[in-house]
Amino acid sequence: MAKAHSYSSSSIDTNSGFCSETKIYHSLRPNAPLPTETTPLSVTDHVFSLLLQQPSPSLETTTSASALIDAATRQCISYSELVLRVNSLAASLQDQIGLAKGDSAFILSPNSVHVPILHLCLFSIGVIVSPSNPTSSKPEISRQIELSKPVIAFATSDTAHKVPSLRYRTIFLDSPEFESMSTSQIGRFRRLNILQSEPAAILFSSGTTGKTKGVVLTHRNIISMLAVAQAGRPVRSTPAVGLCTVPCFHVYGFIYCVRAMSLGDSMVSMQRFDLRLMLRAIQEFRVTHLALAPPVAVAMVKDCDVLNGYDLSSLEVVASGGAPLADSVIKRLTKRLPNLHVVQAYGLTESTGGVTRTIGPKECQILGSAGRLIPNCQAKIVNPDTASDLPPFKIGEFWVRGPCIMKAYVGDEEATAAVLDSEGWLRSGDLCYFDSEGYLFYVDRIKELIKYKGYQVAPAELEHLLHSHPDIVDAAVIPYPDEEAGQVPVAFVVRRLESTIDESQIMNFVAKQVAPHKKIRLVSFVDSLPRNAPGKVLRKELIKLALSNTASKL
């Protein structure tokens, strides 16, 4: 993989980072030091080594500083206890279960204090972490298990029934057994040599074609993101307290948890989102950093009376990710909390999370921007029609490369080759542009994914289900704008002649087979779908029709 060039060269604009010779955008931030690539190092070993390097003695693992806090139960796990639990669980899984380096573990659980401990434990013994949305349906889980090929599952008493039988059994995270495995001193953790190039996680993404894919992230990918966090960390007199409302199966929440522990921050977790519980936790635990998806920000500004009942003065930063956050929401939020900085970022599962982000008061004031390139990364804006590289203010597909770029889509060389070239460039499928100061602005997506509350919904998957219904002749699914969710899936359906199937029957038919965020929210019946000569549905025509059809419920 190509190394980042210094932007001191005369051909590189020090304002935008754009090189007039290579047409590559370079990060305007200083490079973040990384461990030697060939040094054996797991994510967990790196996290624990970073903890010992923290400037404040209160953050060392030998102290009682809180690492993890449960917002609902108020359970606190100190950093010293965190290390003991990780090592104890690792020993238990090695000795009692027989987990070995290279195995894969499927995780089906909402956020809890147990999940970060489990992730660090699995990293430390070379077992690949494969988390899934606990609301996924059995068919969706079957597809994910087919990709990640786990030998063991970790679930809760509410989700375990969805998991099929694997080589080893399913362990309940909310059971006395898991607690015992995490706290008992039986057995001895056997440390392993884990290469940074080896897989650390398989996260699930719809990719660019709409079919569920397993994104292979290496220990190096995650370590590179921790290096970025360390390099951009401001000097603090007291440790930060983060509240993660984002699910840990999503790359945003997944990396946020590891990042928080590497910085020695306290992290508050919520099993399910509840606005009042979140506000109470901010007040009670003096939360300084709040990680959320745009719908949560919308909920915060919708009812000012709710906010007025809580002391939110500790809040310094709200980090929004998963989907763009409307400028109007940012303005209303900062008007209500004037000392607050709203951080936005742009990233993909395939890039191990955010590759651009806003940092500090000045950058956060650039409304509409997803920030500047993170250290160690390069980008290109490519004309999707001519493949030419574009200068600032020209819209094209965003390409990125750096140490955070995924290894591959598991078991899918064709899909990998479609988005990752021989020079390490990842094609995002998204239309963006850089301005003259190196800020990225997201415009639209080339790929046809719907973003519902930050989740990716593949129209092709929903269309496949619709086509399987005997009363449906043809169908297409499009995104429709929604203030709270961002976008919702809307279906255009051609019914079989003489069929009397209605909207609610179609929505129920789909709802029974998919996770809640994939439900079709509206149905419009049409005589035929607009298609081009080769037969491809013209989705843009349907979107225009939906937006212009103000007389109907669409």
CA dihedral 462, 468, 473, 479 (to 10 degrees): 0
Q: What is the mean pLDDT of residues 274-292?
A: 94
240, part of any domain = no
511, part of any domain = yes
Phi–psi pair at 121, nearest 5 degrees: -60, -50
Phi–psi pair at 129, nearest 5 degrees: -85, 125
Q: Under a CB-based contact definition with an 8 Å cutoff, are residues 55 and 41 in contact?
A: no
* Neighbouring-strand partners of residue 472: 495
- What's the mean pLDDT when you consider all of the chain? 89
Task: Report the distance separating Cα 373 and Cα 355, nearest Å.
Answer: 6
Task: Report the distance separating Cα 436 and Cα 423, nearest Å.
Answer: 26
- Kindly state whether residues 536 and 467 are assigned to the same domain: yes
Q: Range with the lowest mean pLDDT among 6-20, 57-71, 120-134, 381-395?
A: 57-71
pLDDT at 150: 98
Residue-wise pLDDT tens digits, 4-13: 444 446 789 9
Q: Which of 235, 262, 296 finishes a domain? A: 235
Task: Report the distance separating Cα 168 and Cα 151, nearest Å.
Answer: 6
253, part of any domain = no
Question: Among the ranges 117-121, 208-212, 482-486, 493-497, which has the highest mean pLDDT value?
Answer: 117-121
pLDDT at 532: 58
- Kindly state whether residues 222 and 277 are assigned to the same domain: no
Q: In angstroms, what CA-CA distances link 291 with 140, 244, 316, 326?
A: 27, 5, 11, 16
54, part of any domain = yes
Tell me what percent of the residues of the chain surpass a pLDDT of 90.
66
- Kindly state whether residues 98 and 183 are assigned to the same domain: yes
Our count of domains for the chain comes to 3
Tell me the DSSP string of 35-98: --TTS---HHHHHHHHHHT-SSGGGSTTS--EEEEETTT--EEEHHHHHHHHHHHHHHIIIII-
Residue 455 belongs to what H/E stretch? strand 455-457
Task: Report the distance separating Cα 168 and Cα 185, nearest Å.
Answer: 22
Q: In angstroms, what CA-CA distances link 286 with 68, 241, 272, 313, 449?
A: 14, 7, 20, 8, 37
Q: In angstroms, what CA-CA distances link 52 with 83, 262, 395?
A: 12, 10, 45
- Kindly state whether residues 94 and 183 are assigned to the same domain: yes
Give the residue with greater pLDDT, 132 vs 233: 132
Task: Report the distance separating Cα 477 and Cα 542, nearest Å.
Answer: 9
Q: Under a CB-based contact definition with an 8 Å cutoff, are residues 109 and 156 in contact?
A: yes
Q: Range with the lowest mean pLDDT among 136-150, 214-228, 455-469?
A: 455-469
360, part of any domain = yes
pLDDT at 535: 54
- Kindly state whether residues 301 and 419 are assigned to the same domain: yes
Q: Which of 447, 475, 492 finishes a domain? A: 447
- Say if residue 196 is exposed, middle or buried (CB neighbours under 10 Å; 0-12, 13-18, 19+): buried
How many other C-beta atoms lie within 10 A of the C-beta of residue 309? 11
Give the residue with greater pLDDT, 536 vs 197: 197
pTM for the whole thing? 0.83
Give the residue with greater pLDDT, 299 vs 445: 299
First vs last C-alpha separation in the chain: 48
Residue-wise pLDDT tens digits, 285-330: 999 999 998 878 878 877 667 888 899 999 999 998 877 777 778 8
Q: In angstroms, what CA-CA distances link 192 with 37, 127, 186, 299?
A: 17, 11, 19, 46
Which of 435-450 are b and which e, b meaning 16 or more Cβ less than 10 Å from the residue's Cβ?
eeebbbbbeebebbbb
pLDDT at 103: 98
CATH number, position 96: 3.40.50.980
* Domain coverage including residue 126: 37-63+79-235
Q: pLDDT category, 553, cuts 50, 70, 90? A: very low
Residue-wise pLDDT tens digits, 102-131: 999 999 999 999 999 999 999 999 999 999
Q: Is 285 helix (H, G, I), strand (E, B) or coil?
A: helix
